[in-house]
């Protein structure tokens, strides 16, 4: 299990460990699901800071919480998702933290199209 923020480095280490454990026990290697907190588009700093504070309530450090955010454009999100996939993530789950959930869904769908 990967604890804290899902950085590519931590995911890659967990993926290597899962491959080794699966081989040791003669089992298929399980997939890795990564959770992120996306807020795409031009967002005010106050909204980003509020989300960071919210994530720290789950035990993350402020630095980990900031790293868990996926912000910027759909293209930037696609780059981040590609990094996570390259590290070994097989599924990415995100819960947008802004009020414009429909718009966020559109931007995330665009990011997904850019990755594939």
Count the domains in the chain: 1
> Are the CB atoms for 5 and 36 separated by under 8 Å?
no
Q: Supply the pTM of this predicted model.
A: 0.85
- Position 1 in a domain: no
Q: Are 86 and 103 in contact (CB under 8 A)?
A: no
Say whether 96 sits in a helix, a strand or coil: coil
Is residue 12 included in any domain, yes or no? yes
> pLDDT confidence of 5, banded at 50, 70, 90?
low
Contacts by 11-20, CB closer than 8 A, 24 or more apart: 11/84, 11/87, 11/88, 11/89, 12/87, 12/88, 14/88, 15/87, 15/88
Average pLDDT across the chain, whole number: 92
Q: Is residue 56 part of a domain?
A: yes
Q: Hey, what are 82's tokens?
A: 């590609």
Q: Are 69 and 54 in contact (CB under 8 A)?
A: no
pLDDT tens sequence across 31-44: 999 989 999 999 99
Q: Quick check: is 2 in a domain?
A: no
- Domain ranges, residue 81: 8-115
Beta strands in 41-112 (DSSP E): 69-72, 91-94
Does residue 39 belong to any structural domain of this protein?
yes
What's the number of CA atoms in the CB half-sphere (13 Å) around residue 4?
13
31: its two tokens: 């997939």
| 68 lies in some domain | yes
């Amino acid at each position: 299990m990967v604890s804290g923020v899902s950085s590519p480095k931590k995911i890659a280490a967990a993926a290597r460990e899962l491959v080794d454990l699966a081989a040791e026990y003669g089992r298929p290697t399980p997939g890795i699901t990564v959770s992120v907190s996306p807020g795409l588009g031009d967002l005010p700093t106050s909204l980003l800071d509020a989300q960071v504070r919210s994530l720290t309530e789950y035990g993350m450090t402020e630095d980990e919480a900031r790293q868990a955010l996926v912000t910027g454009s759909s293209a930037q999100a696609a780059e981040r998702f590609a990094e996570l996939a390259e590290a070994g993530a097989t599924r990415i789950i995100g819960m947008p933290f802004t009020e414009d959930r429909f718009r966020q869904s559109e931007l995330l769908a665009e990011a997904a199209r850019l990755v594939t």
